[in-house]
Amino acid sequence: MKIARQSLMATLFLMFICGVVYPLAVTGMAHLVFSGQAEGSLVKNANNTVVGSSLIAQGFQSPRYFHPRPSAALTPDGSGPLPYDGAFSSPSNIGPDTKQEIKNVTDAANAYRQENHLPPGTPVPVDAVTASGSGLDPDISLENAFLQVPRVAEARKLNPETVRNLVMRIKDDPQFGFLGTARVNVLKLNMALDTLALKQN
């Protein structure tokens, strides 16, 4: 009986401290010092509407924009695919030695070559044809970005060298020079492209 009473008291106390005080204290502090990040690193346009988050991929399809990695994200109830939506993050969960994986990768590689006007058999970077771990990977590899440069430049009637320089300007190096990979954030890159277009007009 005594153990039960003590356990009940401990449960109520710990639930209050761990489940209410601790998360609220972190929320308060985070908003004081890093409110932008705490709200989800949201990106707003000139009219102050939210256009996305710099951390979350968007499903760009127009040839005028750089395209992200394939996404296996799901609809909010998990019943079917809804790529690049943040309501239900998911990888493909497909095994490396399955016919499904070979088909997905082959189809994605052919589509990639077609949209970027690459001759058949041109090697496609692996990140461009595999679904990311979250379905919301905001980055692509530099090789992937450079292969898309001619297409984007042509669609925007820009000098490919200008677009290439933009990729080099926006890209992220490994953090502190050695952590993670060199990569480029697709949303940031595409927003920079739009800004460039505005300036030129």
Partner 1 sequence: MIANDWIQILVSLGLIVLIAPLVGRYLAWIYQSSHLGVERKLYRLLGLDADREMGWKEYATTLVVSNGFFFVAGYLVLWAQGSLPLNPRHLPSLSPEVAFNTAASFVTNTNWQAYAGEAQLSNLSQMLAITFLMFVGANTGLASLVAIIRGFIREGTQTIGNFWADFFRFFIRAFLPLCFVMALVHAEQGTPQTLKTTVTARTLEGAQQTLVVGPVASLESLKNLGTNGGGFYNANGAHPYETPTPLTNTLEFLEMGVFTFSLPFFFGRMIGRPRQGQVFFVVIFALYLAGLGVIEYSEKMPNPLLAAAAVNQQTSPLLDGGNMEGKETRFGITQTSLFSNTTIAATTGAVDGAMDSMNPLAVLVYLVHMFLNEEPGGKGVGFAGLLKEAILAIFLAGLMVGRTPEFLGKKIESREIKLAALSLLVTPLLVLWLTGLSLVLPAGKSSIDNPGPHGFMEVLYAFASGNANNGSAMAGLNVSTPYYAIVIGLEMLLGRFLPLLPLLALAGSLARKKTHPENAGTFRTDTPLFVILLLGFMVLFAALTFFPPLILGPILEHLSLIHGIAF
Work out whether 14 is an interface residue with partner 1 (CB under 8 A): yes
For residue 155, the minimal CB distance to partner 1 (Å) is 13
Residues between 36 and 95 that touch partner 1 (CB under 8 A): 37-42, 49-53, 55-62, 65, 69, 76-78, 84-95
Burial class (CB in 10 A: 0-12, 13-18, 19+), 176: exposed
| Binding range to partner 1, per CB under 8 A, among 148-156, 158-166, 182-190 | 182-190
> Is there binding between residue 165 and partner 1 (CB under 8 A)?
no
Tokens 């949209």: give the residue. Answer: 115
Choose, by CB under 8 A, the member of 46, 48, 157, 178 that binds partner 1: 178
Does residue 136 belong to the site contacting partner 1 (CB under 8 A)?
yes
Residue from 67, 139, 153, 158 binding partner 1 (CB under 8 A): 139
111 is an interface residue for partner 1 by CB under 8 A: no
On whether the CB atoms of residues 93 and 100 are closer than 8 A, the answer is no
155 binds partner 1 per the rule CB under 8 A:
no
Under the binding rule (CB under 8 A), the answer on residue 188 touching partner 1 is: no
CA distances from 200 to 3, 9, 166, 169 (A): 75, 68, 14, 18
Does 126 contact partner 1 by CB under 8 A? yes
Length of the chain: 201
- The only residue of 148, 149, 156, 190 in contact with partner 1, by rule CB under 8 A: 190
Kindly tell me which residue out of 46, 48, 157, 176 binds partner 1, with binding defined by CB under 8 A: 176
CA distances from 181 to 80, 97, 171, 172, 178 (A): 31, 26, 11, 8, 8
Task: Tell me the three state secondary structure of residue 12.
Answer: helix
Decide: 174 and 182 in contact? Cβ < 8 Å.
yes
